[in-house]
């Protein structure tokens, strides 16, 4: 069974979102696009929260959020207790976010990385597994609930 991936962005990340959806679908992933549907100016929380809810509820396995700096979408996503959103600008950081932090949403800064790197970061994030072990106890301490 293919992993189900939720994706959303704001206007700054719209072009990247469109390209990453194609990239993921070509690899056989099932992608749910939470918008936006154009590059018109929008508010990033309006897309970060629905993506986060879908991952939190298990409707999607992992999420991808994109905005100019990735800070806004990361902050919005991390308000959800079941979400561990990681701002990633290198492939190595996305691998560690999965391996050590069991991150379930990758946040990409569209204004600071090129589209090819964004695709590689996303691919690494989705294919890397959580190591568990000594990291599991640490991840268990992240939630405030």
Q: Which of 49, 67, 88, 107 does the annotation list as catalytic?
A: 67
Known active-site residue 107: no
Give the start-end residues of each E strand in 10-144.
Answer: 30-33, 62-67, 85-87, 105-109
* Beta bridge pairs of residue 109: 67
Known active-site residue 100: yes
Q: Which of 11, 49, 80, 100 does the annotation list as catalytic?
A: 100
| C-alpha distances out from residue 97 to 8, 14, 142, Å | 19, 24, 13
C-alpha–C-alpha distance, residues 62 and 66, integer Å: 14
| C-alpha distances out from residue 73 to 28, 50, 80, Å | 26, 11, 12
Catalytic residues: 67, 100
């Amino acid at each position: 069974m293919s992993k189900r991936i939720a994706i959303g962005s704001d206007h700054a990340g719209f072009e990247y979102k469109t390209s990453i959806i194609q990239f993921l679908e070509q690899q056989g992933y099932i992608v749910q696009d939470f918008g936006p549907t154009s590059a018109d100016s929008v508010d990033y929380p309006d897309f970060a929260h629905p993506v986060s809810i879908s991952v939190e509820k298990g409707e999607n396995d992992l999420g991808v959020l994109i905005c100019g700096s990735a800070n806004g979408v990361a902050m919005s996503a991390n308000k959800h207790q079941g979400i561990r959103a990681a701002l990633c600008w290198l492939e190595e950081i996305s691998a560690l976010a999965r391996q050590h932090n069991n991150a379930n949403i990758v946040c990409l800064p569209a204004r600071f990385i090129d589209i090819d790197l964004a695709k590689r970061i996303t691919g690494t994030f989705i294919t890397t597994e959580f190591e568990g072990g000594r990291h599991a106890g640490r991840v268990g301490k992240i939630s405030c609930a």
